[in-house]
Amino acid sequence: MRQLFLLLLSASLVFSACDPDEEEARGSLDLTFKATYQDEPLVMFDQVYTYPDGSPLKFQLFNYYVSDITLIKDDNSEGVLLSEVELINYEEVYDNATAEQGIQLNFDDLEPGVYTGIKIGLGLTGELNATQPGDYAADHPLSQNFWSWARGYVFAKIEARADRDGDGQFSDPLTYHIGEDELFTTLTMSKPLIIQKDNPANMTFSVDVYDILSRDGNYLDISAQENTQDHTNNIAIYGWLWENLNNSFKLNN
Amino acid sequence: MFRLGSLTNYQDDHRQVTPPVRGTFIGVFLAYCMAVLFHRTDDDACPFAKDAEGAVLAVRSAGWVPPTRGCYAPSTPATTNAPSPGFLKVLFSLLQIKWRFSSPHLHFQFQTPSFSLLLGVLIVGLFNACTSKPTPFPTPSPEGFVEMEIPSDNPLTYEGVTLGRALFFDPILSLDSTISCASCHNPALAFTDGRAISNGIAGRTGQRSAPSLLNIGYHYKGVFWDGRSPSLEEQALHPLNDSLEMGNHWEIIQERLLLHPDYSKLFRLAFPDASMNKATTAKALAQFQRTLISTDSKFDRVQRGETQFTPQEQRGWTIFFDAGYPDVPMAECSHCHTDPLFTNLNFANNGLNESLSLDDFPDEGLGRISGNKFDNGKFRVPTLRNILLTAPYMHDGRLESIEEVIQHYNEGGLYAENLDPNVRPLHLSDKDQQDLIAFLQTLTDSSALTNPMYYPAKK
């Protein structure tokens, strides 16, 4: 009986030793990425927008990669890496409600403290762009959008159909696929941010796709076949669009 | 603990005292009988795999060769009847027990044959339970492919794959025992059936064309043309019950499997902790299908630097991938038919039906599953591997030849509001089209078509 008692006692000791330590207080942060077109929420298929030349326009795809999302600390230290890479993908945004919500990323388990801003890479860092889908699981953001012949990823895609002759049929396809190492840019945005327990912080970013397709009254003349499409062949097209995307990317709050 | 107490009482009651040596001997003997009866040899493990010809497959693929081991390999020499190391282990452990239990205050435990028997059975049973754990089968991981996602409750094992392979080729799964999975997914035709629309039992015609199953394990966004089945485990039960395909009922299938001389054992080996049921049947079929890999086409060998394209194939490659060389047109194919799988696993409308309203598609495809009208007329982008072997083409087999397919794309597809913008008039010349076809030809992987592991094991 005494042995049994000892056994139980030691067992209970062993088990209690496994109890996790008191959880340290951690904070969380939500990042929201919105897309608009002339300030209206960007919806795939179901919404008619207006191309800068006046043609009705319907979107089928808008996506872009962001990489090395880092919170900047007030002590000038390295900062906190939130995510190596994310695909901000509006492909399945079919209605206004979803569009207004935007694409959301949640980061938990952050060290509480005061942060002064955030760094976001638009496109992929050279390191990431040197990898390939085979390096990832099938549902990883980098398992797709890869140009094997160019050995690099497509940083951003815009696909839409326009109705230039106004007959109600959106017969004019537009496809712009942009990506190469040199295009990667790091944006640094300042915003005081307190990460604390039980009070999630948030930041909202936005891109206006009209501002990607048009700048200072200039736009691509889509009546010319060669302007309806670019796969990072013509820098006058993809370089210009990418610069516009960079300029349009804003921190809202 | 309390058992021990009662055994002590048993010893005090001197009804059945037998000399310790005899009791132990009987125990060991019975254990041996059990071991012989239940212990598995490699030979037992594979009643389906005695392929004698032993020719080690000519399957070569720098990426991934289906691993061979024990019964799974057609080339394994027959196992002998010598006592397996497993049995020796049992014997040894029993002897050890005897030695330990012979200490003065414990040796009583071997004094009754019934207890020896119990102990023997227990030990052998435990031993068996441990050793009959299925052997893990390495996850296919060809170079350049994304990682295959394997559900944690159905890891690949040699025993599971062996069972799945047996089931896949066995017509007893269909109501009238005429049709197996392989009737519509014939390995020699890259696991298709060469028909526009598949035929089921009693010549009944189905609704769609049978897709290739090579590399199907990578389809993590759902299988079927409309993605309606989330996993291979879920999918396997569809054809069994589909009245236009195998037309069967689970109760009938189970009865047949139970009566069959081999399946009980195969199931026990593959799923020692579960019974023969729908779930384990589906799991085994899924495991076998995850081993169907194609990575050794000429295209792959060129990628690996082992050979070179002809100038015509090279030009076709440039057209296919839109590499944008001066004076070489772009065909936009690789936006959707992305290598290495030659599908991006997405759904798209590639312009097969002119449809002024999104409600007018004869087969809504993805839309019927998602309930979203913008998905109407969208189908899963199929792989183009082995494409020259799998005519006719498209979900309903409407295009008879690869030339017709190229012509379809060259014309830019038929209009619908959700026609993919990457499908547009291509202005390819005859020569461009021939070069493109020459490139598609390099996607044929004959080693996958002759891999003996993808055919029924010889009995």
Model ipTM value = 0.86
Q: Which residues of B touch A160 (CB under 8 A)?
A: 421
Where do we find the tokens 């895609």? A157
CA angle B185/B191/B196 to nearest 5° reads 70
CA B187 to chain centre: 13
Chain A nearest CA to B149, separation (Å): 7
Task: Say whether residue B339 is in contact with chain A using an 8 A CB cutoff.
Answer: yes
Helix/strand/coil (H, E, C) string of B361-379? CCCCEHHHHHCCHHHCCEE
Chain B nearest CA to A25, separation (Å): 32
- Does the pLDDT at position B79 exceed 70? no
Chain A nearest CA to B438, separation (Å): 18
How would residue B72 be classed by pLDDT, with cut points 50, 70 and 90? very low
Test B421 with A139 for CB contact under 8 angstroms. no
- Does the pLDDT at position B458 exceed 90? no
How would residue B52 be classed by pLDDT, with cut points 50, 70 and 90? very low
How would residue B159 be classed by pLDDT, with cut points 50, 70 and 90? very high
φ/ψ of residue A41, rounded to 5: -55, 140
Instruction: Give the amino acid at A195.
Output: I
Q: Which residues of A touch B367 (CB under 8 A)?
A: none
Nearest to A94 among B1, B338, B372 (CB): B372
Instruction: Give the amino acid at A49.
Output: Y
Chain A nearest CA to B344, separation (Å): 7
- Does the pLDDT at position A52 exceed 90? yes
How would residue B444 be classed by pLDDT, with cut points 50, 70 and 90? very high
Nearest to A134 among B143, B415, B420 (CB): B143
Check: CB of residue B450 under 8 Å from CB of residue B41.
no
- Does the pLDDT at position B82 exceed 50? no
Q: What are the residue ranges spanned by the domains of chain A? A: 27-251
State the DSSP H helix or E strand holding residue A71, giving kind and residue range, or none if neither.
strand A56-73
> Helix crossing, B402-410 with B430-441: angle to 10°?
130
Test A134 with B421 for CB contact under 8 angstroms. no
Q: Which residues of A touch B321 (CB under 8 A)?
A: 147-149
pLDDT, tens digit (0-9, with 9 covering 90-100), for B320-343: 998 877 788 999 999 999 999 999
Chain B nearest CA to A197, separation (Å): 34
Number of Cβ pairs < 8 A linking chain A and chain B = 81
Q: Which residues of A touch B335 (CB under 8 A)?
A: 175, 177
Nearest to A137 among B147, B330, B356 (CB): B147
Same fold, B158-293 and B298-443: yes
- For A65, other C-beta atoms within 10 Å of its C-beta total 25
In chain B, residues 346-405 whose CB comes closer than 8 Å to chain A = 356, 372, 374
Interface-testing mutation among B145, B147, B300, B355, with chain A (most A C-beta atoms within 10 A):
B147
pLDDT score at B295: 92
Q: What are the residue ranges spanned by the domains of chain B? A: 20-130, 158-293, 298-443
User: Is CATH 1.10.760.10 the classification given to domain B158-293?
Assistant: yes
Chain B nearest CA to A210, separation (Å): 18
A173 burial type by CB count under 10 A (0-12 exposed, 13-18 middle, 19+ buried): buried
Q: Which residues of B touch A94 (CB under 8 A)?
A: 372, 374
Chain B nearest CA to A2, separation (Å): 13
Percent of chain A scoring above 70 in pLDDT: 91
- Does the pLDDT at position A61 exceed 90? yes
Chain B nearest CA to A138, separation (Å): 5
Q: Which of A10, A12, A28, A192 is nearest to A111 (CA)?
A: A28
Long-range contacts of A96-100 (CB under 8 A, 24+ apart): A96/A41, A96/A43, A96/A47, A98/A43, A99/A34, A99/A35, A99/A41, A99/A42, A99/A43, A100/A34, A100/A41
The nearest alpha carbon in chain B to A174 belongs to B421
Is beta strand A156-162 parallel, antiparallel or unpaired with respect to A56-73?
A: antiparallel
Test A45 with B145 for CB contact under 8 angstroms. no
Interface-testing mutation among B4, B143, B146, with chain A (most A C-beta atoms within 10 A):
B146
Nearest to B145 among A134, A144, A147 (CB): A134
Chain A nearest CA to B66, separation (Å): 19
Chain B nearest CA to A230, separation (Å): 10
Instruction: Give the amino acid at A200.
Output: P
φ/ψ of residue B26, rounded to 5: -60, -40
How would residue B143 be classed by pLDDT, with cut points 50, 70 and 90? confident
In chain A, residues 223-242 whose CB comes closer than 8 Å to chain B = 229, 231, 233
The nearest alpha carbon in chain A to B342 belongs to A148
- Does the pLDDT at position B78 exceed 70? no
Nearest to B421 among A134, A148, A160 (CB): A160
Task: Say whether residue A98 is in contact with chain B using an 8 A CB cutoff.
Answer: no
pLDDT score at B214: 95
pTM: 0.82
Task: Say whether residue A93 is in contact with chain B using an 8 A CB cutoff.
Answer: no
- Does the pLDDT at position B91 exceed 50? no
Mark out the alpha helices in B39-108 (DSSP H runs): 42-45, 85-101
State the DSSP H helix or E strand holding residue A88, giving kind and residue range, or none if neither.
strand A80-89
Distance CA B336, CA B339 (A): 9
Q: Which tokens hold the place of A26?
A: 């951690």
pLDDT, tens digit (0-9, with 9 covering 90-100), for A148-176: 888 899 999 999 999 999 999 999 999 99
User: Is CATH 3.40.50.1000 the classification given to domain B298-443?
Assistant: no
Mean pLDDT across B349-367 = 94
Q: Which residues of B touch A147 (CB under 8 A)?
A: 321, 334
Where do we find the tokens 């070179």? B308
CA distances (Å), origin A199, targets A25, A28, A109, A205: 11, 7, 12, 20
Nearest to A60 among B143, B372, B421 (CB): B421
Q: Which residues of A touch B322 (CB under 8 A)?
A: 149, 231
Q: Which residues of A touch B356 (CB under 8 A)?
A: 169
Q: Which residues of B touch A150 (CB under 8 A)?
A: 323
pLDDT score at B17: 39
Test A138 with B147 for CB contact under 8 angstroms. yes
Where do we find the tokens 């056994």? A7
If DSSP codes are grouped into helix, strand and coil, which group holds residue A33? strand
The nearest alpha carbon in chain A to B374 belongs to A45
Q: How many residues are present in chain B?
A: 459
Check: CB of residue A201 under 8 Å from CB of residue A28.
yes
pLDDT averaged over every residue in chain A: 90
pLDDT, tens digit (0-9, with 9 covering 90-100), for B224-253: 999 998 999 999 888 887 777 788 888 889
In chain B, residues 144-183 whose CB comes closer than 8 Å to chain A = 144-149
pLDDT score at B127: 54
Q: How many residues are present in chain A?
A: 253
Q: Is A146 left (phi over 0), alpha (psi -120 to 50) or beta?
A: beta
Percent of chain B scoring above 70 in pLDDT: 71
Q: Which residues of A touch B140 (CB under 8 A)?
A: none
Is beta strand A172-178 parallel, antiparallel or unpaired with respect to A156-162?
A: antiparallel
Distance CA A19, CA B315 (A): 65
Chain B nearest CA to A233, separation (Å): 7
pLDDT, tens digit (0-9, with 9 covering 90-100), for B253-304: 999 999 999 999 999 999 999 989 999 999 999 999 999 999 999 999 999 9
CA B259 to chain centre: 24
Distance CA A197, CA A201 (A): 10
Q: Which residues of B touch A143 (CB under 8 A)?
A: 146
Mean pLDDT across B131-140 = 85
pLDDT score at B197: 83
